[in-house]
A and B are shown apart, each in its own frame.
Chain A
């Protein structure tokens, strides 16, 4: 059983303390949503978890391996990562992109992730000729194809229509159910409420709340953190919290 443990993490960029005392413990088969306003530290937290940024304090541990002390090769087995920005000027066809990496992904596994992200019909298209939403789905397929213990995704649904948002979140659920951990920064609170098992609400580098969506998505707390009045009701079909923005006074 794998877990990812973030222990008292702090990151300083220049004079600014971007993350301050962040803790998280996610077991396998879980989808963890990281939510919070712009500039709250979501991307930085993901990049520290991915091993891209060395923390100034605290640590990230995946399984038994401390991320900051793990080799690049070993890290690729522990986590995959999809950044918020898609690469430019990539002339490889989609299927090649999904299969290349440290090891070649077997054809069957590549077909499965292409199916799960509705990109099978794009497999012979050149990556840079795709729309931004299509590129994002290919990126997610690539992140899932690596079969790493933890999948880290920065805004994986930002360019997707509602149908593909639901499809991708369903694919992430299946991936988690297969024994993996999915950690995703998500702007859409209702998407996070519907699909995440655990939410971390960041506010200016600190954890404002952490727990199940029912606990974290509380109207007063969200209104304070986002500086935007909201109401939270129950989703009539899904039963999870539904966040409604209110007109500013």
Chain B
């Protein structure tokens, strides 16, 4: 709900509540992600694994330590990193386009990044470095974000831009589907991965590459937070206040493209996180980006880690695609927020 009047200190109190709740949420979902699954693992096993990896204790060498270190921990961390990237990307896109419906999936950035990831995969030999895939996705993400900016110059930043982005995304998904069909190789992720995402194949190597680009992308948006606030008044008003809006937009969209692209290389296209998480947080803590961007990172991380933990345990031994869950719950939340808040587009 958007509050017409805030009491002095109200926003500060809400920000602290959100920060505390999300940090607790990270700890809770992270631990749940480590403990849940087919292999029976206890909190003591998790602690023993951490001690052994930090060198504080000798490795037990048993199966639970191996499962925790090689499978569950990289999966939980990848979920957190991907969620952060999507949360920040959505928040920053909503700021740049002054349109609260903007999100990396809706604007076609995620699916275009998928094409870049496949291109990166094509130039890599089997079992080769993960960097070409990650970089390919990030570059395609940046190109898509830049193209959307150009498009906005011509058709405005309202509903028409969202529809154009949706069209770009659906077209890119169709091309991805064609590549998956034609290439027909076990090296290429399935079409479900590109539509609904998955954290099943998370590895330390991919996580390091993806995290590097995502950290840079989030950093590029964070340092422009105050300028994005002024741009909420419109580009002319921001320029009158001395903000070089073109350079802010370029930098933030570079960050959004890189972070979204790297997240797609890691986990495919996971929808609704980038749309709903910043929207929920904005309605609770207000529009100031210096808070909204970091909180969206935390909120995205909680959402994806929680969704993934449910996805791999709810129908075990089968695994539900994680994006299917985020869409199943994110869609109704989005509509509920739209009804409560009213008009969003410029």
Q: Please indicate whether A and B come from the same complex rather than being unrelated chains.
A: yes
Which residues from chain A sit less than 8 Å from chain B, CB to CB? 50, 52, 72-77, 79-81, 83, 87-93, 96-97, 100-102, 124-126, 129, 146
A126 contacts B6, CB within 8 Å?
yes
B2 contacts A75, CB within 8 Å?
no
Report B-chain residues with C-beta under 8 Å of the C-beta of A126: 2-6
- Is there a chain A Cβ closer than 8 Å to B215's Cβ? no
- Given A89-B346, A91-B2, A129-B4, the answer on whether A146 and B233 have CB atoms closer than 8 Å is no
A76 contacts B242, CB within 8 Å?
yes
B239 contacts A72, CB within 8 Å?
yes
> Beyond the given A93-B6, A93-B11, A124-B5, could you list 10 further A-B residue pairs with CB under 8 A, ordered by the A residue number?
A52-B236, A52-B239, A81-B237, A90-B232, A92-B287, A100-B241, A101-B230, A102-B243, A126-B2, A126-B6
Report A-chain residues with C-beta under 8 Å of the C-beta of B226: 100
18 A/B residue pairs, CB under 8 Å, sorted by A? A52-B239, A75-B240, A76-B240, A76-B242, A79-B240, A81-B237, A87-B232, A87-B234, A89-B344, A90-B233, A91-B232, A91-B286, A96-B229, A100-B230, A102-B242, A102-B243, A124-B5, A124-B7
CB distance from B330 to the nearest CB of A (A): 21
Chain B at the A interface: SS class: loop
- Given A91-B282, A126-B3, A129-B4, the answer on whether A76 and B237 have CB atoms closer than 8 Å is no
CA distance A97 to B242 in the complex (A): 15
Q: Which 3 A-B pairs have the closest CB atoms?
A: A76-B242, A102-B242, A129-B4
B346 contacts A72, CB within 8 Å?
no
CB distance from A84 to the nearest CB of B (A): 11
Residue in B5, B98, B286, B346 whose beta carbon sits within 8 Å of that of A92 in the complex: B286
Report B-chain residues with C-beta under 8 Å of the C-beta of A52: 236, 239
Kindly report which residue of chain B lies nearest to residue A130, judged by CB atoms.
B4
Report B-chain residues with C-beta under 8 Å of the C-beta of A92: 229, 232, 286-288
Kindly report which residue of chain B lies nearest to residue A126, judged by CB atoms.
B4
Report B-chain residues with C-beta under 8 Å of the C-beta of A76: 240-242
- Is there a chain A Cβ closer than 8 Å to B340's Cβ? no
Which residues from chain B sit less than 8 Å from chain A, CB to CB? 2-8, 11, 98, 226, 229-230, 232-234, 236-237, 239-244, 282, 286-288, 343-344, 346
CB distance from B226 to the nearest CB of A (A): 7
CA distance A124 to B4 in the complex (A): 8
| Most A-side CB within 10 Å, residue of B4, B234, B239, B242 | B242
CB distance from A85 to the nearest CB of B (A): 9
CB distance from B269 to the nearest CB of A (A): 28
Report A-chain residues with C-beta under 8 Å of the C-beta of B243: 72, 102
Report A-chain residues with C-beta under 8 Å of the C-beta of B98: 89
Report A-chain residues with C-beta under 8 Å of the C-beta of B230: 100-102
Residue in A50, A77, A83, A87 whose beta carbon sits within 8 Å of that of B242 in the complex: A77
A96 contacts B2, CB within 8 Å?
no
Kindly report which residue of chain A lies nearest to residue B287, judged by CB atoms.
A91
A80 contacts B240, CB within 8 Å?
yes
B242 contacts A72, CB within 8 Å?
yes
- Given A91-B286, A92-B286, A126-B4, the answer on whether A73 and B237 have CB atoms closer than 8 Å is no
- Given A89-B98, A125-B4, A126-B4, the answer on whether A96 and B240 have CB atoms closer than 8 Å is no
Residue in A50, A93, A129 whose beta carbon sits within 8 Å of that of B240 in the complex: A50
- Given A92-B286, A100-B226, A101-B230, the answer on whether A73 and B2 have CB atoms closer than 8 Å is no
A101 contacts B4, CB within 8 Å?
no
Kindly report which residue of chain B lies nearest to residue A77, judged by CB atoms.
B242
Residue in B8, B232, B236 whose beta carbon sits within 8 Å of that of A83 in the complex: B236
Report A-chain residues with C-beta under 8 Å of the C-beta of B237: 81, 83, 87
Report A-chain residues with C-beta under 8 Å of the C-beta of B343: 89
A72 contacts B5, CB within 8 Å?
no
Report B-chain residues with C-beta under 8 Å of the C-beta of A88: 346
CA distance A76 to B232 in the complex (A): 17
CA distance A102 to B234 in the complex (A): 14
